[in-house]
Amino acid sequence: MPSHLRVAGTEKSHTSFLVRFSLRQRLEHFSIMLLFTMLALTGLPQEFFEARWAQWLIPALGGIDRVRWVHRLCGILFTIGAVEHLGAVVFLVVTKRINLSMVPSKKDFRDAILTLRYYFGATEEEAQFDRFDYRQKFEYWGLIFGSVVMIVTGFILYFPALTARILPGDLIPAAKVAHASEGLLAFLIVIIWHVYNAHLNPDVFPFDTSIFTGRVSEERMLKEHPLELERLRPQRRQPHSAEAVANVPQKGTGSGPP
Amino acid sequence: MATRYLGLLGGLLIAALTCAGSEARAVTLAPEVQACLECHREPSMELMLPSGESRSLYVDEEHFANSIHGDKLSCTDCHSDIEGYPHPERTFKNLREFTLGYYENCKGCHFDNYTKSLDSVHYAFLSKGDLKAPLCVDCHGAHDVTKPGVPKSQISKTCARCHAGVYQQYAQSVHGQALLHEKNGDVPVCTDCHRSHNIEDPRTVAFRLKSPEICARCHGDEKLMQKYNLSTGVLQSYLKDFHGMTASFYSKEKASPSALTAVCTDCHGVHDILSAKDPKSSVMQANLEKVCQKCHPGSTGSFPAAWLRHYEPTPEKAPLVYYVKLIYQIFIPFVVVGLMLQILLHIWRVVVSR
């Protein structure tokens, strides 16, 4: 019985917690957080090298050679992480331990429109989400596609001579533009969107700890993922019932992609 | 001062005593110069040195008169050790030592250039004991000093006296051809890139990394380049690309870089540089592969196409790069503005709901 699927309850308050993220997912998030920071820190000054802050930052980090070395090392580790994630997801889906809760559905588009209408005050009905809402799916798939672009173009730039042996040479400057632009886009999305959703959003301010602890309060689940909670309810009648959840992963509660 | 006057007095005395009836010449030299010439205009006058070499002590009156110093200096201004006749005894082992003995004589007036020359690669060799390293007079001449750079080609020809191989390459280059055949004064001669007195060792990493700056002095000059229908964008496009960016960071680093990065001369050549339109040019598309391979040994096939040849990516010159750039220029603001709107709407709704 994987311990991370156990329902945790705090004794002081009567809040009960659900385990939302597995240890693997938490580790994945932690490593991607570190690697993304390192890649942005060593990548952005290379793109904006003419700016004064970059002219200061690159020597401060030990010079252009070291910055590139760290960037490439982190890129390789990032690629290993991406391969690990892909492998884990394929394995878990094939062995039916998770369902495809991250795959966008028609409901996501309806939810997005409903949420927009709600924001504009056109309706008082709020969208009800399952395990992942459309914003989380957008960010996840954005990360997946972004990573593919970054990894492919990154390796083209890492091995330009090898690339040119099999592919047209102008792919290399194009990869440079794509790598820089996609990196900037990813950085902006993380700074604007992810930082808002995980920190500044009034609902979670100052810090949504769930991806680090793996736990989410039932109260929040009810607010943010009521449909998922609903699906879990039958099994939650008894104490320690979440253990039962783990036995019925096809219901889509297990470790889907983060 | 006293010495000089004494010298002058001595000179005059000798002149008065020995050659009362000297013939008048078209060029008027100071009387004290005339006095010295009384002896030194004798072509056969020479000094035998212990090395067996002989040093001519003859001074061509006309050369001196026509030199830049002819109407400004008298003999003892430079030969300040000589106060009269007989001259003080001086011992030189050989011819070079004789010249070296007068090495410091120029600095009395030309102190700035003398000081600069102490930073030169020539002086570095001299101070290490290489007596062949050039001294002031080796380039400028002694009694026949004329204004340097008149004509401009004279500068390169002066350097060629020692650097004959380099000169031959230069003479074939686009710069050398224009200088020697078209008398074009815009093109660089040796000293424009290497400087004249404080000539740096061009084999250092620091000089390499500085070289784009040297080229840019002319190739970044809008007015000058327009004259030859050349683009001044070459420096910017170089600096914005991988090589140029690397070079500019390397040049600011204290430690020597671990690797070399291409500068202008690595692709275009140094002294043998040709017009990029010349079929023999190393940067001609057909020759580019070989140039790339100098640093990228495994590069074959389409690799040279990775270099946009100083062009900005346009739909014609580099469509793939241009469109990738364009797509992101639209996509990034679209996503960012969209996300920010969503955030603002969310905040607004939270506020309204409360």
Same structural domain, B308 and B324: no
Which of B43, B76, B106 terminates a domain? The answer is B106
Report the residue of A135, A156, A177 to disrupt the B interface, i.e. the one with the largest count of B CBs within 10 Å. Answer: A177
Among B106, B125, B144, residue at a domain's last position: B106
Give me the domain span that covers residue B333.
Answer: 319-354
Residue B176 is assigned to a structural domain of this protein: no
Whether residue B327 is contained in a domain is answered as yes
Judge if B61 and B12 occupy the same domain.
yes
Q: Is A46 on the interface with B (CB under 8 A)?
A: yes
Considering B106, B123, B138, which residue would you say is the last residue of a domain?
B106
Contacts with A, B 295-314, CB within 8 Å = 296, 298-308, 313
* Tens-digit pLDDT profile for residues B72-113: 898 989 888 888 888 888 888 899 988 888 888 898 899 999
In this predicted model, what pLDDT tens digit does every residue of A149-189 receive, in sequence order? 999 999 999 999 999 999 999 999 999 999 999 999 999 99
Asked whether residue B297 falls in the same domain as residue B338, the answer is no
Mean pLDDT for chain B overall = 88
* Same domain flag for B241 and B340: no
Contact A192 B348 (CB under 8 A): no
C-alpha distance from A113 to closest chain B C-alpha (Å): 12
The dihedral through the CA atoms of B223, B227, B232, B233 has a sign that is positive
Same domain, B5 and B96: yes
Do B207 and B271 lie in one domain? The reply is yes
Averaged pLDDT for residues B246-254: 90
- Contact yes or no for A201 and B352 at CB 8 A: no
pLDDT of residue A245: 39
Kindly report the nearest CA distance between residue B305 and chain A, in angstroms. 5
Does residue B132 lie within any of the structural domains? no
What is the mean pLDDT of the segment spanning B231-256? 91
Domain count, chain B: 3
In a domain, B146, yes or no: no
Residue B111 lies in a domain: no
Q: What is the CA radius of gyration of chain A?
A: 21
A51 touches chain B (CB under 8 A): no
Contact status of B317 with chain A (Cβ, < 8 Å): no
Contacts of A160 in chain B (CB under 8 A): 296, 299, 303, 306
In-domain check, residue B140: no
ipTM of the complex in this document? 0.82
Strands A215-217 and B46-48: unpaired
The whole-angstrom separation of Cα A25 and Cα A173 is 35
Residues B323 and B308 both lie in one domain: no
**A58 contacts on B by Cβ (under 8 Å):** 249
B235 and B267 in a single domain? The answer is yes
Cβ proximity of A20 and A210 under 8 Å: yes
| B300 and B222 housed in the same domain | yes
H or E stretch covering A70: helix A64-94
Residue B234 placed within a domain? yes
Long-range contacts of the stretch A116-122 (C-beta < 8 A, 24+) = A116/B345, A118/B349, A119/B342, A119/B345, A119/B346, A119/B348, A119/B349, A120/B345, A121/B349, A121/B352
Q: Give the tens place of pLDDT for each residue, A9-60.
A: 444 556 788 888 899 999 999 999 999 999 999 999 999 999 999 999 999 9
Residues B351 and B252 in one domain: no
What is B84-129 written as a DSSP string?
A: SSSPPP---SSHHHHHHHTGGGGGGT-HHHHHHHTTSHHHHHHHTT
Is B17 in the same domain as B54?
yes
Pairing of strands B54-56, B46-48: antiparallel
Shared domain check, B10 and B51: yes
